[in-house]
Structure 1
Amino acid sequence: MVFVWQNGDLNEEQTDAVLHNGNVFLAACPGSGKTRALTYKIALELSKLESERHWVVAITYTHRAAEEIAERIERLGVSTDRLWIGTIHSFCLDWIIRPYAIYHDGLANGFRVIDQHETDDILAELCEQSPNFVRPLDCRYYFTTEGFELEGANPNRRAAAAAVLQRYWDRLRDHRQLDFEMILSSAHELIVGNPSISVLLGSLFRYILVDEYQDTKEIQYAIIAAILRASVGNTRTFIVGDPNQAIYGSLGGYAMTQLEFAARAGIELADKSLSNNYRSSEKIVGYFSNYCVFPAVVEAVGKDSEYESLISFDREINHQELDDEIVRLIRYNIETLGISPHEICVVGPQWVQLAAITRRLVAALPEYSFDGPGMAPFSRDQDNIWFKVSRLALTRPEPQMFTRRMRWAGEVLEHFRSVGVDISKTSRRDLLRHCNQIEILVDDGLEYLDLFFDELLLVLGIDIALFPSLGDHRTAFFERSRAQIERLENAGLQAVSNIAMFRRVFATRAGITVSTIHGVKGAEFDCVIAFALLEGMVPHFADPNALDSAKKLLYVISSRPRKNLHLIAEVGRVDGRGEPYETTNILSEHIFGYDLVAAVE
């Protein structure tokens, strides 16, 4: 049965995009219901599949987004059995590398994906051996279809960094290992060297949907375009994003134009847009629209559109008084304006500043809890099997979590299957039942997980010694987790290793969120407090496109809140050369009638 939605579920712009019987390139402003449109399009195309061999593929920027979309589709009553949804790295592994590794000289005899922790360790070792002063930071890179690019190395160290990287790649190849960037380059090499792969995938996929296209890398566009071109019209695409939020340029992401992608893929691509903002007040929308790099029409139409927002900007406070000011703003929004703590987000450009300020905020506001991706006390490597198991270990069998935990269980079983474990007699329900019955009575989080993993392997009858990759993943998981706990403890956070802190990672957001600008993209809150809005931080001092990058970062910050926005460019901070930081230029030049926030009585 073809999926039909109720009147009012989608507006005219969303309906026009979802019902378009062809390829769509959809530019969506913040708060425009972009995820809703994407969800309904996936549900519609899933319901129209006529063969068990056909798939709908949705590529998201994060695993979190993939989970959210999959759950929304299931709540619409549409089966997701023929839906593949995940990140581009997972897509390349599942559909290109694992099935066709035999056709790649470097992968034919097996391979293992290493995580960022292992990458950092190897680069640190190689940098120490380098005769030049090269830091691991200088060696961050990404691949294009033409080779590789360094993210932001010091110009004087670029040649030395490239030499270190060459030794790094040689070592990984000698050990049959791939890092995340090599996943993309290997998939592209397979696609280019074996055109039949694209032809076969083009015959299997009825739709490829891409979320957050503005964060997509050139090599990723090339992989998707090759499949679309080879399908000769059998595979269609639905591409969604906002070029004004393209803040991953230093990592290789950029907003390819509709005409450029259409030419690459050899397709006709309808250009559509979503302009209604359902999130923010008219005042907030008017403010963030000032930072558009690409022209866009945005109209506030949501329930908070007429809210009398506060937008403040403080560029005089000294950085030594910053903590007190953020505490004051938090208290004012909660105690005077009635905003819930979990609807407040504190944003900074780098974890260096956030780690320190989080410790002090926790001490200053003991009555409130704090959440944030950087506060997770264990490794969050999404492709590590033991991270996947930890999600089941640390969540309780509650009704509202059943669908999500079932999906997680399926991912765990699929990972076991991919490394050769025979789990043919274990269903997703069986795995959940086994996990729910394991009782571990210890307070230390890592000890709890270690014992839980042992119990699960025992009940499943898996001898980890027979599957080296499982052991490698387990070692990497705990090494990185210990390093993460040490980092948080050094920042002054208390009870980091307690099992209660571990469980909070997967619990519903309950406290004040602390995040980087990049980490907050895609989220929304009633109130956002952003600090360190300083030239050299926003944008980064090494950014070659500083003006546009600053605009996009401010656009992302300013479009997160529904109601109130507080911007701070504190004075007194100095850079590595002892020079004082100044307010981000584009922010200081914006003439606006900012509000004063009264003191809490």
Structure 2
Amino acid sequence: MSDAAPGLAPDSLEARLLGGLDEEQRAVATTLHGPVCVLAGAGTGKTRAITHRIAYGVHSGVYSPQRLLAVTFTARAAAEMRSRLRDLGAGGVQARTFHAAALRQLQYFWPQAVGGALPGLLEQKAQAIAESARRLRLTVDRAAIRDLASEIEWAKVSMLTPSTYLEGAAGRGEPGGLQPPTVARLFEAYEDVKVDRNLIDFEDVLLITVGILQEDPKVAATVREQYRHFVVDEYQDVSPLQQRLLELWLGGREELCVVGDASQTIYSFTGATSAHLLEFGKRHPEAAIIRLVRDYRSSPQVVRLANELLASRRPAGPAADARWAQPLTLVAQRPNGPEPEFAECTDDEAEAAAVARRISELVAAGTEPKDVAVLFRTNGQSEAFEQALSSAGIGYQLRGGERFFNRREVRDGLLQLRGAARAAADDGVPVGQRVRDVLSSLGYSEQAPTGGGATRERWESLAALVHLADELSEARGEGFGLSEFVAELQERSAAQHAPAVQGVTLASLHSAKGLEWDAVFLVGLSEGLMPISFADSPVTVDEERRLLYVGITRAREFLHLSWSLSRTPGGRAHRRPSRFLDGLRPGGAVASHSGGATRKGRRELKGPTTCRVCGAILSTGAERKVGRCSNCPPSYEEATFEALRSWRLEQAREADVPAFVIFTDATLTAIAEAKPSSLAELSQVAGVGKAKLERYGDAVLELLRDA
């Protein structure tokens, strides 16, 4: 970025707050009145632009810090924004998540708007859902409970109730293995359990706040008097419920700045939608639309691959095309780096070993382990890489594992630092040195331990605190003492805003959003994992493409993409590279994802599967299984299908598993319509694999003969 803007006096407010911004970022920072929509690509400095906008507005007297609310989507992002604003001298600005802001308002207004004490907050839904299932005499396991919790959260942020769930959830499948009417009943039972226990969940916090603001004009007027200006980060992730709350906060005013990138919409399964971002100009015709496309994070080689991934997307039907936004084309600002590496491995174990070797080479060449990440589609993929890194003697941290501020050595360190801040006055010793002196009693030293294991992990935690003290002392300057550092740590602890720890990061692609590393390894890029197997519609496949885009744009310089042909050593090499890599990897070979291998190693392209009744293209996995679109009537006999369902229920009860584990409804439908008379014919039905054929084949054929 430029160090100074032309025409600005060196010591002026403008020079201090605008001098390091590029032309587009400066346009964001100086457009102080809304509505403003900032379309910001990955790595384009959006957080820098909006924090400088807020600080410039505060210092120039346009904004009162107490009357501006900045909203983002994670406690960590909110804490990061508050930290940056303090660095810019605008520490009085409120930066919160939607839930935190709504909860604060609810706690304040509940006594006058509702009366009595605010109900307790249900932080985990699992026990309440399990109780709801028992009331309905349903058998659910842990995995089903997690799926049902996610489904209820989705329904509530989509502003659905138990009575409207069926209509709104059409086409969402069977969460937890339960059919939609059963899910609706469980949803209602869950609400009853909360009432019985006098509890509300996080979605209720938003719903009740919306209800109070809609129904109580005095409360609404008080909130609107308090907050005159709003900034919303990651606006592509807003749910319908959050958008409704935002509209009520505004009350028809337009002092709003939103920031987002539709190409980073990866949370649609939670109810997030980029429609609010994409339609902002229609709702606010006078809005200033500013595009940030200069990528300061990644090398030109990484940026080119990211751009090509989005550009290679092809039309996928009216519904999907309407939801696919024209992506921003990023323009790299960094010097050239190495070309992205692509690696095909024989199996998962070989892939993990190859990645560990490559990381060892990078570390030996001078890359810090904390600047390296291994990103995967599902958390279940991490184990092989944990083992490979351990065998290679490389430390790692599993994102989503034990939280940094919950570690014993960090809690002990914070306790001792708090005591030292109370006991000693500021004697001019730099904060970093004071922190080193205090933490030395817990095992910190300037030199890292030579070994690994728990001793090394403990040292890395303490070293992260020391590094953070140095970093903040430099940013905050004079007046930043040990007491201020302890206060910063306490706030970060509450928000789980952890400092960087030495060690390679292992993380899912979803949890990597908002982070960046010098070197990124994207692993497991095979069909079934990327895109994930249950992405069975053009819309969900598009979301998987955006998820890979997020992964690519986490890399500053080095990018390594890999996949394996088999799950286990010696296993059948039935996997194929992700379709998203077609045309991107060296050689430009285009692989099919349905055809067999040809003699040249290429794969033949097959046309789309069509309905055997009307000829329409089949767009979902369930339709392709039965070979018929949902608009055409089934051809099976009802008695046969019901007999199959009854048999499946008995098998599920005996095995104590959800019914869909035996066979899904789509597979049962396909069996009933195909009426196979032999094991060979049954094996041709989609969803009947070798294991299920051996276990259930004879029983299914006997049932069909009897029917």
Whether the TM-score (by the shorter chain) exceeds 0.5 is: yes
For the pair 1:395 / 2:430, whether they are aligned, the reply is: no
Q: Which amino acid aligns with 1:59?
A: V
Deviations 1:33-58 (A, max 9, x none): 11100110121233345797941111
Q: 1:113 aligns with which of 111, 121, 124?
A: 121
Deviations 1:395-425 (A, max 9, x none): 37779x99xx9xxxxxxxxxxxxxxxxxxxx
Give the match for residue 86 of structure 1. 96
Q: Following the alignment from structure 1 to structure 2, what is the Cα–Cα distance between the partners of residues 541 and 499?
A: 39
Give the match for residue 296 of structure 2. 278
- Cα deviation, residue 168, structure 1: 1.5
Contact 2:28 2:50 in 1 (8 A): no
Q: 2:392 aligns with which of 360, 365, 373?
A: 365
For the pair 1:585 / 2:579, whether they are aligned, the reply is: yes
Alignment of 1:169-568 (within 5 A): 169-230=191-252, 232-233=253-254, 236-258=255-277, 260-261=279-280, 268-292=286-310, 293-303=324-334, 305-307=335-337, 309-336=338-365, 338-354=366-382, 356-366=383-393, 368-376=394-402, 394-395=413-414, 506-543=498-535, 544=537, 545-568=539-562
- Cα deviation, residue 567, structure 1: 1.4
Q: Following the alignment from structure 2 to structure 1, what is the Cα–Cα distance between the partners of residues 308 and 340?
A: 14
Q: Following the alignment from structure 1 to structure 2, what is the Cα–Cα distance between the partners of residues 152 and 390?
A: 45
- Cα deviation, residue 201, structure 1: 1.9
Q: Following the alignment from structure 1 to structure 2, what is the Cα–Cα distance between the partners of residues 566 and 84?
A: 39
Q: Following the alignment from structure 1 to structure 2, what is the Cα–Cα distance between the partners of residues 377 and 357?
A: 22
Q: 2:44 aligns with which of 32, 36, 40?
A: 32
- Cα deviation, residue 515, structure 1: 0.8
Give the match for residue 596 of structure 2. none
The count of corresponding residues between Structure 1 and Structure 2 is 487
Q: Following the alignment from structure 1 to structure 2, what is the Cα–Cα distance between the partners of residues 34 and 50?
A: 21
- Cα deviation, residue 294, structure 1: 3.0
Bigger shift: 326-335 or 280-289? Answer: 326-335
Q: Following the alignment from structure 2 to structure 1, what is the Cα–Cα distance between the partners of residues 224 and 540?
A: 39
Q: Following the alignment from structure 1 to structure 2, what is the Cα–Cα distance between the partners of residues 48 and 178?
A: 42
- Cα deviation, residue 221, structure 1: 1.1
Alignment of 1:144-155 (within 5 A): 144-147=158-161, 153-154=174-175
Q: Which amino acid aligns with 1:593?
A: P
Q: Following the alignment from structure 1 to structure 2, what is the Cα–Cα distance between the partners of residues 46 and 316?
A: 55
Contact 1:374 1:515 in 2 (8 A): yes
Bigger shift: 154-163 or 219-228? Answer: 154-163
- Cα deviation, residue 90, structure 1: 0.2
Q: Secondary structure at the match of 2:384?
A: helix
Contact 1:524 1:560 in 2 (8 A): yes
Change (3 A) 1:593 1:294: farther
Q: Which amino acid aligns with 2:374?
A: V
CA RMSD of aligned residues (A): 3.9
Q: Which amino acid aligns with 1:560?
A: R
Contact 1:323 1:357 in 2 (8 A): yes
Change (3 A) 1:22 1:284: same
Identity of aligned residues (%): 22
Give the match for residue 4 of structure 1. 14
Q: Following the alignment from structure 1 to structure 2, what is the Cα–Cα distance between the partners of residues 539 and 192?
A: 41
Contact 1:221 1:261 in 2 (8 A): no
Contact 2:342 2:585 in 1 (8 A): no
Contact 1:245 1:553 in 2 (8 A): yes
Q: 1:159 aligns with which of 158, 176, 181?
A: 181
Q: Secondary structure at the match of 1:254?
A: coil
Deviations 1:348-388 (A, max 9, x none): 1122222x23531342132x3212432215897xxxxxx9x
Change (3 A) 1:91 1:331: same
| Structure 2 runs not aligned, ≥5 long | 1-10, 311-323, 423-435, 444-451, 465-495, 589-707
- Cα deviation, residue 61, structure 1: 1.5
Deviations 1:476-519 (A, max 9, x none): xxxxxxxxxxxxxxxxx9759x9778767844332111111011
Q: Following the alignment from structure 2 to structure 1, what is the Cα–Cα distance between the partners of residues 297 and 442?
A: 43
Contact 1:45 1:56 in 2 (8 A): no
Report which of the two structures shows the higher radius of gyration computed on alpha carbons: 2
Change (3 A) 1:185 1:541: farther
Change (3 A) 1:186 1:535: farther
Contact 2:236 2:276 in 1 (8 A): no
- Cα deviation, residue 530, structure 1: 1.4
Q: Which amino acid aligns with 1:548?
A: D
Q: 2:107 aligns with which of 98, 106, 109?
A: 98
Deviations 1:451-497 (A, max 9, x none): xxxxxxxxxxxxxxxxxxxxxxxxxxxxxxxxxxxxxxxxxx9759x
- Cα deviation, residue 94, structure 1: 1.1
- Whose relative contact order is higher, 1 or 2, with alpha carbons under 8 Å and at least 6 apart? 1
Contact 1:538 1:553 in 2 (8 A): no
Deviations 1:215-272 (A, max 9, x none): 1111101111222234x45xx11111111000001011121345634666x6742211
Q: Secondary structure at the match of 1:563?
A: strand
Q: Following the alignment from structure 1 to structure 2, what is the Cα–Cα distance between the partners of residues 377 and 43?
A: 31
Contact 2:303 2:332 in 1 (8 A): no
Q: Following the alignment from structure 2 to structure 1, what is the Cα–Cα distance between the partners of residues 576 and 94?
A: 47
| Structure 1 runs not aligned, ≥5 long | 381-386, 406-435, 444-492, 596-601
Give the match for residue 67 of structure 1. 79
- Cα deviation, residue 340, structure 1: 1.9
Contact 1:347 1:515 in 2 (8 A): yes
Q: Following the alignment from structure 1 to structure 2, what is the Cα–Cα distance between the partners of residues 379 and 130?
A: 40
